[in-house]
Chains A and B, each alone.
Chain A
Amino acid sequence: MNLRTVITPSLLCFFLIIGIGAKAQQKSVYLFSFKHLKESVGHEFLLSPFLHHTKSPHLANYYVNGGSLIYPMPVYNRVYGIITATYQPKLRLVEFGSKASIALRIPMTLSLSTVDLKTRDGNKYTPSSVIRYNINSGFYEGSRDNALGTFSSEVGGLIGLDLGKGSTIENGAKTGLSLAAGYNIIYGPLILRKYDKEARSAYKGLLSWGSLIGQVGIIKKGYSFYYTFGLNPTRVHYDDSLGSESTVRTNTYQRLAIGFKLGK
C-alpha cells in the first residue's frame, strides 16, 4: 500500500480527535468565514540562511560498468538553500474558542540555492545519449562537471493545529505551538547553467517533484521558529561497482526557518 495514502488520513484523524477534544473543553467553535476574513487570515515571512536541504525521490539511474555487470546508482535532484525565503499565508479554518485552531498554510518559497542531479558518490547525471566513448570509459551515462543550476521554488499546502499564541487573533499567551502536515511541490533549478547546452526539455521529469512534509513551529511574540521535514523518505540500497552495498536516503526535506509575523 502506498504510504501517502496512509499517512495523510492518519494525520487528519489525529487532528480531528484533538479538535473534538478541544471542542469538548472549550464548548465554542468558530468556522472560517469570509465575513471575518481579516480576523481569520494571518501572514508570515520565513527565512532560512543555509538551513534548507532537500532531496527528490529516486528519479533516474547512473550506470557504472563493473565488468560483466552494470551497476545502477540512484540519481536524485538535490537542493542546497543558501538563502530561502517563504511567504506563508495562514487561514484559520476552525477556531476552538481563543486557545486553539486548525489552520491551512500555503507556503510559497523562493530559494537562492544550488541544484544538482547527482548520485551520492557525486556523479552528476545528464540525460544525453550514451556513446561508445562512455562505455569504454566505464560509464553508461554522460556526466557534467558542474552543478545543474541555481534557484528553486516551492509551493505547498499544510493543514495543522495551532495552540496558544497565534492560534487565534484573541489569544494572549506568550508562546504558541504549531503542528502541521501537507504536500509540497518543489521545482529546480529555475536557472540552468548555460554551458550545459542540454535544453530544459531534456530534463523533463527530473526537475520537479512532490513530497509529503510535516512542520513543527514555536511561536513567540513577533517571531517564530519552524522546523519542516519530509514524511516519507526512501532508502535506496544499491551495489557500487566493487560489489559493496551502499545506501542513500532520498525524498527527504529538512529546513529550519525563522518566521516573522506580517501585519497584526
Chain B
Amino acid sequence: MNKNLTLFFLGLSLIFTSCVKDVYLDPIDLPDVLTSFVIRVEKFSGNALFSATNSGLYLQFDEKDYVEFYSGDYSSWSYAQWQQAKIDYSNEKLLATYGSKYILLSRSGITSGDFDNSSLMLRPSSIISPTGVALQVGYGDITVDNNNNLVYVIYIEKIEANGTSKIATEMKVSEANYGSIDLVFNADGDLVITTNPVFIVSDWETDASDFTTIAPTTGFTEYNSIMRPTIVDNVVYGYINAPSIYLPANSMYKFDLSTKSVFALNQDQFCEFPEFGNGILKHLDWNGTAACMLFPTDIGFVGDQGNPLSYIYQFNLAEESCQSFVISSNSILQNSSAIADVGYSFKSDTAYIGLNSGLYVYDLKTNEMTLFINSLLSLK
C-alpha cells in the first residue's frame, strides 16, 4: 500500500506541475483612421467594407482583414469629392472615381491619379470587373449622323500599372438619348453599358469590337440611362438617376432585354416614405431584384428616445413590394444631421453609420449602436 501511495503522489505531482498552460496576448494594431470624422461608408457583399475619413482610408476585405491608408499617402480629396465619388469594389480591389480623378485601393497599396484628360470623356462612369480590372467608360468622341444630329461615341479607359489606356469603340448613342453612363457586369463577365441603347460587350478588355446592341421597342423607350444598375435573368434594373443628396431618385427602370420593353416605377407607389425627408439619397445594395436605398430624414435633434432618424428601404422591382428598416436615435446619435453616411448590405441586419466621432455599427434588430473598432477587439 505504501508503494502505491508513493506512486500516486509522484504521479499527482508530475501531472500538477505539467498542467500549466501558457497563453500569449499580443498588442493589436487598430485602424485608428476610423475614429475620426467619417465622410463616406460603403458596405459590400460578404464582409467587405470601405470608409473614407478625415484621417485616411480603410478597406476591409473580411473580418479583421483590412488595410488602411493615411491621408498623407495619396492625393487627398475634398469632403464633397468623397461624398459624390462613385465607389465600386470587386476582387479585393476598390475603385473610387470623381470626375477625371481616381483612387484604386488593394492589398498591395494605393494608386491615385487622373484619367487621360487629353481628349473628351463625357459623363463617365467607372467599375471594377470580377477579375479585378479597373476601368472607366465615357463618351470620348462626338460625330454627326446623316441627319446632322450629334452622335456620341463610347470609349473605354483601363487603369493600368503605368497610367491608363483608352479603347475607341463603335458603340454610339444618339443626341436624343444622350445621358449619363453606368455599368454592370453580367453573369458571363460581359460588360453591360446601361445607356439607350444597352450595349453588352464581351471583349471589353481588348478592342471592344464584339458587342450586342439592345434598343427598347416597347414601353418607356425614350429613357436616357439606367443608373446604379443590376442585371438579373436578362433584365436590367436601376434608377432614373444616380441618387445623391443633390438629386434624389424618385423613379426606377426595369428593362427586359429579352422582350426589349422598358417599365418605369415610382418608388412612392410601393413604399410609404416618411414626411420629413427629401427622398432616396443613396443606393446601398442590390438584393436580387430589390434595391436597398437610404432615406435620411431632416428632422433634426430628437434626443435619445428611439425616434426614427433614417430609413433603409428594400424596394423589389420584380415583385413590386417594399420593406423598411429604421435607424433610431440613441445616446450617441441624437440628430439626423449628425449622420455623415450610411453603409448597408442586405445580407446582414447591420448598418454602418459614419459620424464625426468615427464609424459605428448599428444593429437594425436591436437598435444598439457601438463603435466599429470595438468589433475588431475580441478575446483571442
The answer on A and B forming one complex is: yes
Residues of A within 8 A of B (CB): 3, 7, 10-11, 14, 17-18, 21-22, 25, 58-61, 63, 66, 68-74, 100, 129-132, 135, 140, 161, 163, 179, 214, 229, 231-239, 249
A61 touches B379 (CB 8 A): yes
Q: Mark B338-380, 1 if CB is under 8 A from A, else 0.
A: 0000000000000000000110000000001111011001111
A3 touches B374 (CB 8 A): no
B379 touches A58 (CB 8 A): yes
B4 touches A237 (CB 8 A): no
Which chain A residue has the least Cβ–Cβ distance from B21?
A234
B27 touches A11 (CB 8 A): no
> Which residues of the other chain, B, contact A100 by a CB distance below 8 angstroms?
1
How far is B378's CA from A59's CA once the two chains are assembled, in angstroms?
A: 10
B1 touches A72 (CB 8 A): no
How far is B369's CA from A132's CA once the two chains are assembled, in angstroms?
A: 12
B12 touches A214 (CB 8 A): yes
B371 touches A10 (CB 8 A): no
B8 touches A14 (CB 8 A): yes
A129 touches B370 (CB 8 A): yes
> Which residues of the other chain, A, contact B8 by a CB distance below 8 angstroms?
14, 18, 161, 179
Q: Mark B11-55, 1 if CB is under 8 A from A, else 0.
A: 110011001111111111110100100000000000000000000
> Which residues of the other chain, B, contact A233 by a CB distance below 8 angstroms?
19-21
Which chain B residue has the least Cβ–Cβ distance from A237?
B24
> Which residues of the other chain, B, contact A231 by a CB distance below 8 angstroms?
15-16, 19
Across the A-B interface, the 5 shortest Cβ-Cβ residue pairs: A238-B25, A69-B27, A132-B357, A21-B4, A70-B28
> Which residues of the other chain, A, contact B27 by a CB distance below 8 angstroms?
66, 69-72, 239
How far is B379's CA from A14's CA once the two chains are assembled, in angstroms?
A: 36
Taking a contact as CB atoms closer than 8 A, the residue among B16, B28, B374 that contacts A69 in the complex is B28
Residues of B within 8 A of A (CB): 1, 3-5, 7-8, 11-12, 15-16, 19-30, 32, 35, 332, 357-358, 368-371, 373-374, 377-380
> Which residues of the other chain, B, contact A129 by a CB distance below 8 angstroms?
368-371, 374
B374 touches A140 (CB 8 A): yes
Which chain A residue has the least Cβ–Cβ distance from B330?
A129
B371 touches A7 (CB 8 A): no
> Which residues of the other chain, B, contact A18 by a CB distance below 8 angstroms?
4-5, 7-8
**26 pairs, CB–CB < 8 Å, chain A vs chain B:** A11-B15, A14-B12, A18-B5, A18-B8, A21-B1, A22-B1, A61-B379, A69-B27, A69-B30, A70-B29, A72-B25, A72-B380, A131-B332, A132-B358, A132-B371, A135-B35, A161-B8, A163-B5, A231-B15, A232-B19, A232-B20, A234-B22, A236-B25, A238-B25, A239-B26, A239-B27
How far is B371's CA from A58's CA once the two chains are assembled, in angstroms?
A: 24
B377 touches A140 (CB 8 A): yes
> Which residues of the other chain, A, contact B35 by a CB distance below 8 angstroms?
132, 135
> Which residues of the other chain, A, contact B1 by a CB distance below 8 angstroms?
21-22, 25, 100, 163
Min CB distance A32 to B, Å, is 22
B21 touches A232 (CB 8 A): yes
How far is B24's CA from A72's CA once the two chains are assembled, in angstroms?
A: 10
How far is B30's CA from A249's CA once the two chains are assembled, in angstroms?
A: 27
Given contacts A234-B21, A237-B25, contact A17 B12 (CB under 8 A): no
> Which residues of the other chain, A, contact B378 by a CB distance below 8 angstroms?
61
Which chain A residue has the least Cβ–Cβ distance from B29?
A69
A70 touches B25 (CB 8 A): no
Given contacts A61-B379, A132-B358, contact A235 B21 (CB under 8 A): yes
> Which residues of the other chain, B, contact A59 by a CB distance below 8 angstroms?
379
Taking a contact as CB atoms closer than 8 A, the residue among A63, A135, A214, A237 that contacts B16 in the complex is A214
How far is B30's CA from A73's CA once the two chains are assembled, in angstroms?
A: 15
